Structure 1
């Protein structure tokens, strides 16, 4: 048996003469849990950290006084404590007389506190003290205070099993799966849920500091400036494309700057009630989905997005537009109005015909004075129907077709001619009320309703 560094598989030996600790012989399989039976300066004591440790031992005399006596917890004693059988000499070299066997308090305490009713045997080898417990007989089981507590043992087993079974990569994957279930953003290419890395929350600081990645397309999407770019062309370096003139007009920095500085106010000439009244009308339509997620598509400078967010009626509001400059203007207004940055309002750049949301994930969608600017209103309404949850509500405002804004094409008999003139005409698309209702129903929306005031119309549809 090795003198030092004995492995946990057997009884531990320690040098009692130089103050080293003697490890507990009852739990040799517990690494790092020594039971101090004695030290050169502090005397013998027990200092076991296990929950069922032996805390009843008392401090006894210094082990130095008992070096000449073999520690034992059983009746048998040896006449000569030195295993070599030779008498020891003192520092001057004189040989002392016969050694008298004097009972040491250490064996008595060990017998009383460590091995009661069982005893122990001991060996001394080369100046090292070895304590060995005597195995209990079947008729004399271990006392309750020496047995592990069942509850504590069960907890240790459960913790150990959990530590062994825990796979960090599995934990990460589980977190990603959970995030995929809660996040509404999806890849604009394949519509797979995006994996988000960053702080949670649907607010400007959280979105800005987050990265999004599609595990299927292996495409990454990050915040550009103050908004999250989720267009198909996001990140492309060589390819670029232009939308129709009516769409590109609002990407202009000048138009974006003027939109709430006189541009939008001129809509009242066509019968638009104004921001506050339009907002309240939309809120009436959205009552069935209050508390859900609202997306303000073609939000422009955030004229209604900010009001929806500050109303507190929705868990999250996403201001979505294709124009980068409009989103920047929205951010500037948020700062000017001292709207809290941690308000559940996110700025996202996306194409209305390729909404970056999972199917059936949005509760409400608003499009204020926008449908006449969309390149393909039918594709846009179909996308809106796709992302709406069952029972979700879509509300939009636009200009009705009149002789003023449509010329001769406002006449029902001449409206089919728009297909011929349309490709060379860069003006907006204005529709009749019947066309808007047909469009909504064809895209799967039900419960169509509308409110008309001159050429202004607010219409609504619901996902069945």
Structure 2
């Protein structure tokens, strides 16, 4: 296996020393697109947030900063990501505003209608289904709750093939495909912001009331 592929295979589920490096690097590399995505929900007032595929926990920390009245649960299926997210959010965990769990998006360890906002930054590329996983998000959202998807790849870039060959299990969906999956999961309202110049996507899907 080449060095490039050995490194980036840890994008899906970080493991070992390379995984620790990947998790730390993703906290910095994806910050700009994550913040762009968060700007789309700035008018919301969530009190319960789920951050799925939380990686190294940087976005969880930023969400807690932006929504000071909210509590947040971060979830990832990589043990290394969970450990890193706990370190990054140590103060928020101690104050009772944050918890970090290891789990699978296809079987979320939450009750129905628990959250006002569910976020997924640079992660749905790897989700099982993904319609089945989106159904799980729908289940845990309160009526009127919002599911925010933010992707740095829109499925329209010539560089996509490079990433598809380097990262096992990666699937890059375009805005039409993601909208279809969300419709299949019965989300009632879907809004897409497609930044074609930067090949990035932000999608807001609302659970009907």
User: Following TM superposition, by how much is the alpha carbon of 1:266 offset from its aligned partner in structure 2, in angstroms?
Assistant: 4.3
Structure 1 residue runs of 5 or longer lacking an equivalent are 1-244, 410-424
Residue of structure 1 in register with 2:63 after alignment: 308
Superposed CA deviations along residues 112-164 of structure 1, whole A, max 9, x for unmatched, are xxxxxxxxxxxxxxxxxxxxxxxxxxxxxxxxxxxxxxxxxxxxxxxxxxxxx
Q: Deviations over 1:399-455 (max 9, x none)?
A: 211332147x9xxxxxxxxxxxxxxx9341011111111111111102211112232
Matching residue of 1:294: 49
Distance 1:463 1:313, change over 3 A: farther
What root-mean-square deviation, in Å, do the aligned CA atoms of Structure 1 and Structure 2 show?
A: 2.8
Distance 1:377 1:255 in 2: 27
1:458 pairs with 2:202: yes
* Offset of residue 377 of structure 1: 1.3
Q: Does the 8 Å CA contact 1:378/1:439 hold for their aligned counterparts? A: yes
Is the Cα–Cα contact under 8 Å of residues 294 and 314 in structure 1 kept in the other structure? no
Partner residue in 1 for 2:25: 262
Separation in 1 of the partners of 2:18 and 2:199? 23
2:186 maps to which residue? 444
Does structure 2 conserve the Cα–Cα contact (< 8 Å) formed by 1:309 and 1:343? Answer: no
- Return the alpha-carbon distance in structure 1 between the equivalents of residues 9 and 185 of structure 2: 24
**What are the equivalent positions in structure 2 for 1:225-240 lying under 5 Å apart?**
none
Is the 8 Å Cα contact of residues 357 and 387 (structure 1) preserved in structure 2?
Answer: yes
Partner Cα separation in structure 2 for residue 360 and residue 277 of structure 1: 27
Distance apart, 1:279 and its partner CA:
2.9
The CA distance in 1 between the partners of 2:11 and 2:66, in whole Å, is 31
**Counterpart of 1:353?**
106
Name the CA shift for 1:358/1:456 in 2 (closer, same or farther; >3 Å).
Answer: same
**How many Å separate the matches in 2 of 1:351 and 1:340?**
21
Greater CA radius of gyration, 1 or 2?
A: 1
Does structure 1 residue 404 correspond to structure 2 residue 159?
yes
Residues 42-121 of structure 1: pairs in structure 2 closer than 5 A: none
| TM-score, normalising length: structure 1 | 0.38
Instruction: Give the Cα–Cα distance (whole angstroms) in 1 for the partners of residues 20 and 10 of structure 2.
Output: 16
Shift, 1:459, TM fit? 0.4
Question: Equivalent residue for 1:92?
Answer: none
How many residues end up aligned between the 2 structures?
195
SS of the counterpart of 1:283?
coil
| 1: CA distance, partners of 2:69 / 2:75 | 16
| CA spacing shift, 1:323–1:441, aligned 2, 3 Å | same
